[in-house]
Amino acid sequence: MSRISGKSIQLLKGFKDILPEHQKYWNFLISQAEKIFLNYGFEKIDVPVLEESRLYIKGTGKHTDIVQKELYEFDDKNGERVALRPEFTPGICRAYIEHGMLNKQQPLKFYAFGPVFRHDNPQAGRLRQFHQFDLEVIGTDSPVADAQLIIIAYRFLESLGLTLVVHINSIGCSSCRAEYISCLRQYLMGAQRKKRLCENCRERYSKNPLRILDCKEEECQKTIYSAPQIVDFLCDECKKHFMAVLEQLDDIEIPYILDVRLVRGLDYYTRTTFEIYFKDQLAEENRTQSALAGGGRYDGLIELLGGRPTSAIGFAIGAERVISRMRDNNINVPEYNKPDVFVAQLGLEARKESFKLYERLLAENIKVGESFSQDGLKKQLEKADSLNVKFTLILGQREIIDKTIILRDMNSGIQEIINYDNIINEIKKRIKTLNSSIKSYMLADIKRDEKFEEKDVDLVKKVEKNIGRKEVLINGNRDNGEDTKKKEQFIGNRQPKYKLNSDDEENEKIINKF
């Protein structure tokens, strides 16, 4: 206590305030997310920030960095071991099991948003409390769910004005992965490679060797450079599944890279894993950069947590990372709840009347600003300026007597005297005219940060061109010719599209009956 008493209390290390001037980014992200996720048929779910520690030790995995090093856990006052959520997935799966959602029509699609906590090293610029958007599709192993989730993540980030590329891989199922892992171990034992790995990776060798593949240490990356690749070990079922996911991404023209070293950090992943990167990062050997979104399939998790075997897939998007990319790239976001009109007053009677006018404007859904605690007109007009309003209404003693009000156009500086009884209608009319002429600017501006001089139509066309671009790269970085050839064969060997399997035939019969 004595240490605090002389000094003001400060933020905990790794925690951050989100100040009002940054809220416009958060507001934009949240409103875009809700719009897009709801459109794709997802339903919102909120799970608690605090859960039993066991949930994450079991669910996230006790060999993961998240649980071993970063879990925020402590004993509560009853001596129960609890943890702040480091991710959403285990909590949502717990809720799925606990509320018997298995009995609903499957699959279920959830989205969540909120803070997550990791007791990470804040020196690395990481926060200990940060925010994630999280989406989960529970109750299907269909590749359609994988493809659709990737598309949703892509569409959401794209709607924020970011240029993106998807990295995708399949890490197989428990049966085909076992063979791969033993081959990987053999490879690492050869030529004394294991000795060259970092301390973490030497530990991973026995507990979770797949993780060695995405170690960020340069020496480890060199060591695993020509390691066997999991795509070559996929069983027929896993291969078919993966092909179907890629085909669907092709159909929707989502650009992706087949990234054979993408395994993700968590124990529970099976089959599809993916990450989405901001595009420019690729130019600078992206492995040291952080993905904006990442996720994958986790067909074993619900059973692991005590539910019935249930396939599922999900992903998370780091909100702080996304916002920092947007700001680095000068992407403008709409100002939210910015007033269009300001009410200024001079004199006691005028203040009383303008106070009422302010309420009437709000009741009409007009965004209105004020500074009633200021007496001087100059101070009030400065405030109106700083709010960047389009119009200021000025009410003085004389206007009260004349039953009029001054309407000042803040752009042109032109002032008009308006009949006081007419003012609400007049303001509504003017705001409507203004808004209809700037709508198309905003669309273009969000996407590309274009300048305003160009004609609206040209801007919108340009934006459409930029979004519609198709590009598919195959394992573009750290690759030798041999790998590329292998991958091209892999891609080239795909099954013909929409081949009927027995299920589909069954479905067709049902459809034909109607």
Binding residues for L-histidine: 87-89, 118, 132, 136, 264, 268-269
Q: What is the DSSP string of 290-352?
A: PPSEEEEE-TTHHHHTTS----EEEEEEEHHHHHHHHHHTT---PPTT--SEEEEE-SHHHHH
Give the strand pairing for 43-44 and 108-117. Answer: parallel
Q: Closest separation between CB of residue 173 and Zn ion, Å?
A: 3
Binding residues for Zn ion, rule CB under 5 A, total 10
Return d(Cα 236, Cα 253) in angstroms, integer. 25
100-119 positions binding Zn ion, by CB under 5 A: none
Q: 3: number of CA atoms within 13 Å, CB side?
A: 1
For helices 456-467 and 423-448, give the axis angle rounded to 10 degrees: 40
Q: Compare residues 200 and 289 and give the one whose CB is closer to Zn ion.
A: 200
CA distance 203 to 214: 14
Shortest Å, Cβ 446 to Zn ion: 40
Q: State which residue, 176 or 405, has the beta carbon closest to Zn ion.
A: 176
Q: Which is nearer to Zn ion, 237 or 483 (CB)?
A: 237
Nearer to Zn ion, 218 or 504 (CB): 218
Burial of 426 (0-12, 13-18, 19+ CB in 10 A): middle
Shorter beta-carbon distance to Zn ion: residue 273 or 354: 273
Specify which residues 409 forms β-bridges with.
391
The encoded tokens of residue 83 equal: 């943890």
Task: Determine the residue type at 407.
Answer: L
Per CB under 5 A, which of residues 163..222 are in contact with Zn ion? Answer: 172-173, 176, 198, 201, 215, 217, 220
What region does 2 belong to: left with phi over 0, alpha with psi -120 to 50, or beta?
alpha
- Nearer CB in complex with Zn ion: 260/405: 260
Cβ 271 vs Cβ 295: under 8 Å: no
Q: Which is nearer to Zn ion, 50 or 198 (CB)?
A: 198
- Using the minimum distance from each CB to Zn ion, give the nearer residue, 153 or 238: 238
Cβ partners under 8 Å of residue 328, min gap 6: none
Minimum separation from the CB atom of position 227 to Zn ion (A)? 13
Judged by beta carbon, residue 163 or residue 273, the one nearer Zn ion is 273
Residues 6+ apart with CB under 8 A from 290: 318, 321
Beta bridge partners, 394, equal 344, 406
Shortest spacing between CB 219 and Zn ion, in angstroms = 7
Binding residues: 87-89, 118, 132, 136, 264, 268-269
Range 217-246, binding Zn ion (CB under 5 A): 217, 220, 235, 238
Tokens of residue 447, six digits = 């996407």
Q: Which residues contact 139 (CB under 8 A, 6 or more apart)?
A: 102, 106, 107, 108, 310, 311, 312
Choice between 174 and 436, CB closer to Zn ion? 174
Please report how close the Cβ of residue 213 comes to Zn ion at its closest, in angstroms. 10
- Minimum separation from the CB atom of position 201 to Zn ion (A): 3
Contact in structure between 305 and 94 (CB atoms under 8 Å): yes
Enter the DSSP assignment of 496: P
CB of 214 to Zn ion, least distance (A): 9
Alpha carbon distance 411, 389 (integer Å): 9
Q: For residue 300, state whether it binds Zn ion (rule: CB under 5 A).
A: no
Bridge partners for 506 per DSSP: none
Give the nearest distance from C-beta 55 to Zn ion in angstroms: 27
Strand order in the sheet with 43-44: 43-44, 108-117, 129-138, 312-318, 293-297, 270-278, 164-170, 256-258
Task: State in angstroms the smallest separation of the CB of 244 from Zn ion.
Answer: 14
Q: Residue 239 CB, nearest distance to Zn ion (Å)? A: 8
Q: Which residues make up the interface to Zn ion (CB under 5 A)?
A: 172-173, 176, 198, 201, 215, 217, 220, 235, 238
